[in-house]
Structure 1
Amino acid sequence: MKKLILTLSLVALFQNFNAQEITLDKIYSGYYRGKGIAGITSMKNGESYLVIEQGGIAKYSYKTSQKEGNLVDGNFESYEFSDDESKILLLKDSQPIYRHSFLGIFDVKDLKTGKTITLNEGKPIQEPRFSPDATKVAFITDNNLFYQDLSSGNITPITKDGKKNEILNGLADWVYEEEFGHARLYEWTKNSDAIVFVKSNEKEVPEIYIPIYGKSLYPSEMRYKYPKAGEKNSLVSAYIFSLGKGSIGKINLDNFKNYYIPNVIQTSASDEMVLITSQRTQNASDVLKVNTKTGAVTKLFTETDNQWIDTDNVTLEFLEDNSFLWASERDGFRHLYWYDKDGKLKKQVTKGNWEVTDYYGFNPKSKEIYVQTTEKGSINKVVSKINIENGKSQLVSNAEGNNSANFSKNYNYFIETSSTASKPYTFVLKDGNGKVMKELQNNDEQLKKLHSDNFSEKEFITIPNAAGDQMNAWIIKPKNFDPKKKYPLFMYQYSGPGSQQVANSWDNGNAIWFEMLAQKGYVIACVDGRGTGYKGAKFKKVTYKNLGKYEIEDQITAAKWLGNQSYIDKSRIGIFGWSFGGYMASLAMTKGADVFKMGIAVAPVTNWRYYDSVYTERFLLTPQENPAGYDDNSPTTHAKLLKGKFLLIHGTADDNVHFQNSMEFSEALIQNKKQFDFMAYPDKNHGIYGGQTRPQLYQKMTDFILNNL
């Protein structure tokens, strides 16, 4: 009997997978999963590149695109070369901690002798880093900094005072990691003589605790330091460890902005380091040069802004002569500026009503920098090379879509990764001028499956807001769209500062689910309103000190505009968002209750007082300085306005947007006698995944939409 049931189940599944429609079963079975190329890295000679494949790290020729064998055999999660490529650092196994941090088991293989050494005797470590001369590896364990000699295997402690929830050495605390975007806060000098590191004292930072239910009789507890807006942050200080002396010296930053030290950056000079520091308000950053022999500190310059500086998106790149490139929004768009080694501005390198979104490198022979920009429109990202001296520019990627590049060390070749909203990712080998040499990987099979299941392409439009801006938007219509019919509208957005959801790029995330909803008779739309990125600083930073105000006004305006289109039923408009998008969906269902019939908010911030200090204060200042900015646009404040059908979803172990947000909002709705639906996911973090969690979550949301919109 069991065998018969299994056979019938497989037949049913097969029939379902061959129906000409997109289903949740197909989405979460991996049926539409695309293909990629992992771990692309150019070798130093610029003629070969490496990728991670099953069974090893494979070496390929740029010129012929042919595989030349495995550089290293075995299965690895990631790898990193020493500067001279004599050794390779291999991650064998990892366990995530927060967004960027993880514990890992690492080996170092000597590519000349074939000898392999395991770091820290095979015990887990964090953030290993080769010394530039490839003789040592520094790493962190138990919040202390160490280095291991690769010849003798001897391990030398650099610090000894590290302690969980108290002292971190060379390692970011939770809020630094989350909001400044990296976990490592140490760096070797170019001559391998010293390490500069940041020490974080988080003893006075308030602690958050999260119950972990698991399957035990009594729940356990997760505790960590989490500075909420206006509360105490870690006290940070910077130090130099001299390998020759075996001693640590404190760097005196008293005369500079020193509330935050988000970046430690190696320069091209042998005994020098740069620290980027910031005051608490994050509207001014000092770029400081530290002499690691003497400890002397010199300010190269101070970057200032009337609103905020994107301290989480720093570009500082040193050239061979120790001059450097710095990204700034000072002219209203994010561009590159060239400084000499002493911090004197030489020139603005890029200019225009577009932005530099990534930096790939500098070719000293041709004097060209390689960058990704929005010069072909804010929804596109393209790759160009620009002569740093005369400003001459040449596009080397496709002119449309989302294009990124991985260049060879000599810049004679690059692997372009590209996509559009209607074409999944392709990987193409090109020469340095952008001429196609060979397509390495495409996703035609993925697209074929989607088209056979009646995939509908996005349409890009613009929608005016009250300020006269043209907001970027996309729309997905049902495949059998009839302009004479009235369709319900389901809106998606994120809307957070500097973000972008309306992009001419392939989306392997929610997009296929949206396609499924379109097949069920909904028009799906997404609008990037004020506060979002890639349209200049003015459009992005108008939300300063009023986070949520203009963003929700623009979503309401967009909903009304779309509702006035002949094919939309304005009485059936819904909205969905996650995280900041969940915050916006909650505002839409309260401040926009007369427009939105239905809303789904996943892991929303419902009161900015509950969110972390670095992110929130960057845009709102502290609650003590700007209480109205926190309260006037809190969904909790407006709970009494809720009218429509509302589904609130949160993971109980969310370390980022705490479950507390949804608890407070729920209580406000309850006390205002508002009926709503709520789903809590036990022990799930901000991503709400694991096992069958995602399929269950998306089935719940799908059912809620079908029943209420």
Structure 2
Amino acid sequence: MSKATDTFPRQFARTQRLTLGEPRNIVVSPDGMRVVYCRSLGGSDSVNSLYVLDVTTSVETCVADMIALQAINGSSGDSQIDTAAEKARRERAREGASGIVGYSCDQQVLNAAYCVAGKLFVTNLVTAKTQQINTSEAVFDPRISPNGKHIAYVRDGKLCVCDLTGTETIVATESQPNVEVTWGQAEFVAGEEMGRQRGFWWSPDSASLAACRVDNSPVAMTWIGDPANPETQPRQHRYPFAGTKNADVSLHIFNINSNNNTTDRIDVQWKQSQFEYLTTVQWTSNGLIVALQNREQTKLEVCAVDTSTGALSTIQTETDEHWIDLVAGSPTLLEDGRLAMCCERNGVRALTVGDHVVTKSDTQVRSIITTTPTSIYFAANPITDPTVLHVMRCALPDLSVFALTDERGVHTASVGGNTIVIRSATLHEKRTATRVNGAHEIPNNAETSLVTPNVTLHRVGANKIATAIVMPRDHDGSPLPILFDPYGGPHAQRVVSASGAYFASQWFANQGFCVVIADGRGTPGRGTQWEREVHHDLATKVLEDQIAVLHELPNLVPCADTTRVGIRGWSFGGYLAALAVLRAPEMFHAAVAGAPVTKWDLYDTHYTERYMGNPQVHPEDYESTSLVAHAHLLKRPLLLIHGLADDNVLAAHTLQFSTALLHHGKVHELLALSGVTHMTPQEVVAENLLLHQLQFLQRHLAN
């Protein structure tokens, strides 16, 4: 429960945006009898334990209690993260919790393996017995074998396997020590941009491992320092700037005999010069498949791997003159041997099975959730309403499609056997609900927000831009300054039918603002052409759509004062906020830009080149969309915020922009956050950031 002395900024920070205490990482056993998940004890507790729900009795059991484990091992509640690899994985996943934040299960979901503070544990999910497996060094990303007899993990850049007694074998390592080469880990752009967090995969029979070898030596070296602590040595960080070299990534198969020893190594063969990105690896009972993408991201090949030779044979090829989006869960090989994918067809993203287009042109498929022998479960929205997300089922083998959710909201699912667990977020409920088979609700320990969203959704202007308007509660109709609060960029939405998306916006509204959130061209859910509108220009149409909404706002909210308009945003939203006061100072009168990309050639290869192309080929596009190049245009108050430890949008973005502004005599404010990364999980930092932004906006948008 919330504390009596809480303000919303404090609650929002303390509860990590009101997410702590929610059931998460849900896995359902293939017989449908057990639901496994992580959860903390309360809304301000970041330490997750592991739970199992008996579907028959609806009885919940804590099978791995982190308080007990910490008492045994003498670790603190925050569980110090011991490995650089684990810290990097959490940053890529935007993970702010501790304790058990991820786990793997065997095929029957009888055992789970996980690590806490680099220590390896296995829990029997039926008996609730937990054992620690001693390893010589801290481990990272443990994965239990399908038969439950072995665990593979990464240790100091090596891929290792041990049995349940702790007897270890190094499966893959370099013959000579080389800190630039790792085995079994995802490279930076795979984790940050491709959605591939893993670097090794068990075969279904537990006899083999497929593993990535990553050589980071071609990637540009950067240094991330801690200026507040000058005695601290800067940290090396390989960062693939747009137009520069990526890591060299290869895939290899290791056969492991019953004594836990590696018997041979098979190199998977493809032309890395033609397909630079390994986007997907999946090993099913029908074999091993990979998805490969070219550097330009205009071609994707799905290939079957001959595990005896490493040779590839192409199953399906997708091409697009703009780019090919990578979609969660796609491709996936079905048990009947057909390939299920999410592909651009008839102007929308469709579910395809083999040569068949399963979904209609009125549906935008967002992901493949999971597959069973009889079904494909996927997430989709009506093309006319990108604010919702529904769970759908495609029956096999006849490919008939059914909706499993109908309430307006954002729904996701986990499936096993005849059991389906659906997590739902709606506009009329402050907290998410996680229900098993539509009946039993898994307890949610998250706190209830101190603010209640007062939000209305609209489709605005000729482009029918999805727009949320958040108003102060019990407003008397007097003129209100306007605060735009967008993200506005590709692959992310802010306007959704879920109340949790508007808590911070509502707090700003309650301070006396009409808050406006608009998802313009380039944002997902509206079909192929809508997303492609930003090709080679991440600025013009993105900003035009924010302005279009502003023009229409007086018709929707007569008390909105268009002579006092602010804009705030983080990451791409920070870029958009700064762009607004540079390009449209007559419309936007103050901006807060948090962690903004200010030069696209300072951002990474996979994201930037997808939309902008290679900067060496299209320098004019990079120049026209650069904030640094247009610093001389600033006429309005601008607050820049950046974490100095940010390894995603490097602090160099804001520092170079600030230098350019100073060069042109443009007054601005800069808030540098020592020790803070791209996310801001620190409670004091997160709370005071909201307050600082509010004071800046109030100061500059006063009557």
TM-score, normalisation: structure 2: 0.86
Q: Is the 8 Å Cα contact of residues 297 and 324 (structure 2) preserved in structure 1?
A: yes
Q: Is the 8 Å Cα contact of residues 13 and 683 (structure 2) preserved in structure 1?
A: no
- 2:237 counterpart residue number: 224
The 3-state SS of whatever aligns with 2:675 is coil
Q: How far does the alpha carbon of each residue in 1:363-392 deviate from its partner, in whole angstroms, 9 at most, with x for none?
A: 43xx43322211382111112323244444
Q: How far does the alpha carbon of each residue in 1:67-124 deviate from its partner, in whole angstroms, 9 at most, with x for none?
A: 3x45455555143321134532133x24xxxxxxxxx322124679998654461631
- 1:145 counterpart residue number: 159
- 1:105 counterpart residue number: 119
> Which of residues 164, 172, 185 in structure 1 aligns to 2:199?
185
> Which of residues 434, 437, 440 in structure 2 aligns to 1:438?
440
Q: Is the 8 Å Cα contact of residues 599 and 647 (structure 1) preserved in structure 2?
A: yes
The answer to whether residue 245 in structure 2 is matched with residue 237 in structure 1 is no
The answer to whether residue 679 in structure 2 is matched with residue 687 in structure 1 is yes
C-alpha distance 189-40 of structure 1, shift in aligned 2 (>3 A): closer
Distance 2:583 2:407 in 1: 40
The alpha carbon displacement at 1:134 in A equals: 2.6
Counterparts of residues 487-502 of structure 1 (less than 5 Å): 487-502=480-495
- 2:107 counterpart residue number: 83
Distance 2:672 2:365 in 1: 40
The 3-state SS of whatever aligns with 1:490 is strand
Q: How far does the alpha carbon of each residue in 1:458-477 deviate from its partner, in whole angstroms, 9 at most, with x for none?
A: 0111112xxx4110000011
The alpha carbon displacement at 1:439 in A equals: 3.8
Q: Number of matched residues? A: 653
C-alpha distance 110-522 of structure 1, shift in aligned 2 (>3 A): closer
- 1:350 counterpart residue number: 359
> Which of residues 455, 459, 467 in structure 2 aligns to 1:458?
455
- 2:187 counterpart residue number: 173
Q: Is the 8 Å Cα contact of residues 421 and 434 (structure 2) preserved in structure 1?
A: yes
The 3-state SS of whatever aligns with 1:472 is strand
Distance 2:513 2:225 in 1: 39
C-alpha distance 370-674 of structure 1, shift in aligned 2 (>3 A): same
Q: Is the 8 Å Cα contact of residues 487 and 576 (structure 2) preserved in structure 1?
A: yes
C-alpha distance 139-456 of structure 1, shift in aligned 2 (>3 A): closer
- What amino acid is the match of 1:124? A
The 3-state SS of whatever aligns with 2:584 is coil
The alpha carbon displacement at 1:694 in A equals: 1.3
Distance 1:542 1:399 in 2: 31
Q: Is the 8 Å Cα contact of residues 104 and 142 (structure 2) preserved in structure 1?
A: no
- 1:624 counterpart residue number: 616
Counterparts of residues 415-564 of structure 1 (less than 5 Å): 415-431=421-437, 436-441=438-443, 446=448, 449-450=450-451, 455-464=452-461, 468-483=462-477, 485-507=478-500, 511-562=502-553
The alpha carbon displacement at 1:228 in A equals: 0.3
C-alpha distance 594-405 of structure 1, shift in aligned 2 (>3 A): same
- What amino acid is the match of 1:266? W
Q: Percent identity?
A: 26
- What amino acid is the match of 2:281? V
Q: Is the 8 Å Cα contact of residues 185 and 198 (structure 1) preserved in structure 2?
A: yes
- 1:342 counterpart residue number: none
Q: Is the 8 Å Cα contact of residues 651 and 681 (structure 1) preserved in structure 2?
A: yes
The 3-state SS of whatever aligns with 2:628 is helix
Q: Is the 8 Å Cα contact of residues 304 and 314 (structure 2) preserved in structure 1?
A: yes
Q: Is the 8 Å Cα contact of residues 481 and 564 (structure 2) preserved in structure 1?
A: yes
Q: Is the 8 Å Cα contact of residues 269 and 312 (structure 2) preserved in structure 1?
A: yes
- 2:34 counterpart residue number: 48
C-alpha distance 310-164 of structure 1, shift in aligned 2 (>3 A): farther
C-alpha distance 287-257 of structure 1, shift in aligned 2 (>3 A): farther
> Which of residues 259, 267, 275 in structure 2 aligns to 1:250?
267
Q: Is the 8 Å Cα contact of residues 406 and 415 (structure 1) preserved in structure 2?
A: yes
More displaced, 637-646 or 558-567?
558-567
More displaced, 69-78 or 551-560?
69-78
Q: How far does the alpha carbon of each residue in 1:104-158 deviate from its partner, in whole angstroms, 9 at most, with x for none?
A: 3221246799986544616311222223333322211222212223357232332
> Which of residues 133, 144, 148 in structure 2 aligns to 1:134?
148
- What amino acid is the match of 2:9? L
Distance 1:632 1:52 in 2: 46
The 3-state SS of whatever aligns with 1:361 is strand
Distance 1:358 1:372 in 2: 5
Q: Is the 8 Å Cα contact of residues 268 and 318 (structure 1) preserved in structure 2?
A: no
- What amino acid is the match of 2:448? Q
Q: Is the 8 Å Cα contact of residues 328 and 367 (structure 2) preserved in structure 1?
A: no
Distance 1:140 1:27 in 2: 35
- What amino acid is the match of 2:301? D
Distance 1:442 1:109 in 2: 23
More displaced, 51-60 or 311-320?
51-60
Q: Is the 8 Å Cα contact of residues 453 and 506 (structure 2) preserved in structure 1?
A: yes
Q: How far does the alpha carbon of each residue in 1:546-569 deviate from its partner, in whole angstroms, 9 at most, with x for none?
A: 122211121222223325653222
TM-score, normalisation: structure 1: 0.86
The 3-state SS of whatever aligns with 1:692 is helix
> Which of residues 189, 198, 206 in structure 1 aligns to 2:220?
206
The alpha carbon displacement at 1:171 in A equals: 1.2
Structure 1 portions without partners, runs of 5+: 1-12, 95-103, 340-344
Distance 1:688 1:426 in 2: 23
Please tell me whether Structure 1 or Structure 2 has the larger radius of gyration of its CA atoms: 1
The alpha carbon displacement at 1:221 in A equals: 0.4
The alpha carbon displacement at 1:519 in A equals: 2.0
C-alpha distance 635-64 of structure 1, shift in aligned 2 (>3 A): same
Q: Is the 8 Å Cα contact of residues 370 and 383 (structure 1) preserved in structure 2?
A: yes
Distance 1:119 1:290 in 2: 33
The 3-state SS of whatever aligns with 1:616 is helix
C-alpha distance 70-246 of structure 1, shift in aligned 2 (>3 A): same
C-alpha distance 616-275 of structure 1, shift in aligned 2 (>3 A): same
Distance 2:386 2:310 in 1: 44
- 1:4 counterpart residue number: none
C-alpha distance 162-519 of structure 1, shift in aligned 2 (>3 A): farther
The answer to whether residue 284 in structure 2 is matched with residue 267 in structure 1 is yes
The 3-state SS of whatever aligns with 1:615 is helix
The 3-state SS of whatever aligns with 1:121 is coil
- What amino acid is the match of 1:665? F
More displaced, 124-133 or 624-633?
124-133
- 1:394 counterpart residue number: 402
C-alpha distance 163-332 of structure 1, shift in aligned 2 (>3 A): farther
C-alpha distance 616-218 of structure 1, shift in aligned 2 (>3 A): same
Q: Is the 8 Å Cα contact of residues 88 and 111 (structure 1) preserved in structure 2?
A: yes
- 2:376 counterpart residue number: 369
Distance 2:371 2:187 in 1: 33
- What amino acid is the match of 1:154? E
Q: Is the 8 Å Cα contact of residues 208 and 253 (structure 2) preserved in structure 1?
A: yes
Q: Is the 8 Å Cα contact of residues 560 and 595 (structure 1) preserved in structure 2?
A: no
C-alpha distance 560-672 of structure 1, shift in aligned 2 (>3 A): farther
- What amino acid is the match of 1:360? I
The alpha carbon displacement at 1:30 in A equals: 4.9
Distance 2:186 2:304 in 1: 21
Distance 2:221 2:464 in 1: 44
- 2:77 counterpart residue number: none
Distance 1:440 1:193 in 2: 36
C-alpha distance 133-65 of structure 1, shift in aligned 2 (>3 A): closer
The 3-state SS of whatever aligns with 2:114 is strand
More displaced, 143-152 or 296-305?
143-152
Distance 1:173 1:568 in 2: 47
Distance 1:23 1:108 in 2: 39
C-alpha distance 647-372 of structure 1, shift in aligned 2 (>3 A): same
Q: Is the 8 Å Cα contact of residues 144 and 159 (structure 1) preserved in structure 2?
A: yes
- What amino acid is the match of 2:188? W
Q: Is the 8 Å Cα contact of residues 647 and 677 (structure 2) preserved in structure 1?
A: yes
The alpha carbon displacement at 1:256 in A equals: 8.5
- 1:125 counterpart residue number: 139
- What amino acid is the match of 2:388? N
Q: Is the 8 Å Cα contact of residues 172 and 183 (structure 2) preserved in structure 1?
A: no
The 3-state SS of whatever aligns with 2:326 is coil
> Which of residues 330, 339, 343 in structure 2 aligns to 1:315?
330
More displaced, 622-631 or 133-142?
133-142
Q: How far does the alpha carbon of each residue in 1:154-202 deviate from its partner, in whole angstroms, 9 at most, with x for none?
A: 3233223586652122212222221112332222222333222222222
- What amino acid is the match of 2:305? V
- What amino acid is the match of 2:23? I
> Which of residues 43, 53, 59 in structure 2 aligns to 1:60?
53
